Structure 1
Amino acid sequence: MAVNMLNIDGLERLDQDSPVVMLNLMRFNARSRDGDGSGWDAYLRYSAITVPMIKARGGTLLWTGKAKAIALGPHQGNGWDFVALVYYPSVAAFLDMMTSEAYEREADPHRVNGCAEHVIIATSEAYGKFKVD
């Protein structure tokens, strides 16, 4: 995520050692900004690079899926294409990945080319059936 969009101040106020699940909401461009396929194609290139980066930091993809319809709430501005839940063992691990030179150089250009909009929300568990070990 271009460092200028990353909410470093907000993330640094969180407990750096606490596990975090990042809720990713994505809306794709019809065509990748670099002209190489669709926005989805660019996102697949992004994922191929970032999943090993996530795993190298002890994280994992918990769940991904297509966003189908707004079930409750405002429809305007909430037309997402894809959702992902990504576990990191700590907020610090997420920040380490997102601010790494490798992420900026190798992964983020594909995300920027593919996504018309990408929102990531840091969450902490209140209840869950997933057990991450």
Structure 2
Amino acid sequence: MIDHLNVLNVDLLQALPDDGPVTMLNLMRFRERSRDGNGSGWDAYLRYSALSIKLIKAQGGTIVWTGEAQAVALGVPEAHRWDYVALVRYPSRASFIAMMTSSDYARANVERENACTDHAIVAVRETYTKLAKP
């Protein structure tokens, strides 16, 4: 069985042009209880966030936006139920891959696994924004 929480598509990312910043759209669904029994899935995610923000910043990245997902406005709710959304911008795809494949991230990732029943990350190339450039 494939561990869908840890399928990092490095080959797919490396096949894309890496000529500028990339924003990673994170879609997360939390466990009611942390997989290790230490609080809720949200509690485990907060522990993961405290560890991963240092790694994101070390790669020149920044959290652009986060929010609580409230309802599926278009689509099948059971198929697209998310609890939390985050936009994280990295200076390059290579910087994202470097973070995700580091031993420091592997240690932080334990808390992400404790937190999430599902977590999808979509690499997004910006085509329009009203947000100020970093």
Q: Is this a same-fold pair by TM over 0.5?
A: yes
Partner residue in 1 for 2:39: 37
- Residues matched between the structures, number: 132
Structure 1: gaps spanning 5 or more residues: none
Aligned partner (choices 100, 103, 123) of residue 101 of structure 1: 103
C-alpha separation in 2, matches of 1:44 and 1:4: 19
Partner Cα separation in structure 2 for residue 45 and residue 124 of structure 1: 29
Q: Name the structure 1 match of 2:126.
A: 125
Q: Percent identity?
A: 55
- Segments ≥4 residues shifted beyond 4 Å: 1-4
Q: CA deviation at 1:132?
A: 3.2
Q: Does 1:114 align with 2:103?
A: no
Secondary structure class of the residue paired with 2:94 = helix
TM-score, normalisation: structure 2 = 0.93
CA distance in 1, matches of 2:82, 2:133: 27
What 5-or-longer segments of structure 2 have no aligned partner? none
Quick one: distance in 2 between partners of 1:5 and 1:24? 14
| Match among 68, 74, 79 for residue 81 of structure 2 | 79
Root-mean-square deviation (CA), in Å? Answer: 1.7
Moved more, 71-80 or 115-124: 71-80
Q: CA deviation at 1:17?
A: 3.6
Shift of 1:2: 8.5
Equivalent of residue 16 in structure 1, options 12, 15, 18 = 18
Deviation of residue 18 (structure 1)?
2.2
Partner of residue 66 from structure 2, selected from 57, 64, 69: 64
Instruction: Name the stretch that deviates more: 41-50 or 4-13.
Output: 4-13
Query: Are the aligned partners of 2:5 and 2:118 in contact in 1 as well (CA < 8 Å)?
Result: no
TM-score (norm 1): 0.93
CA apart distance, 1:16: 2.7
| Superposed displacement of residue 6, structure 1 | 0.3
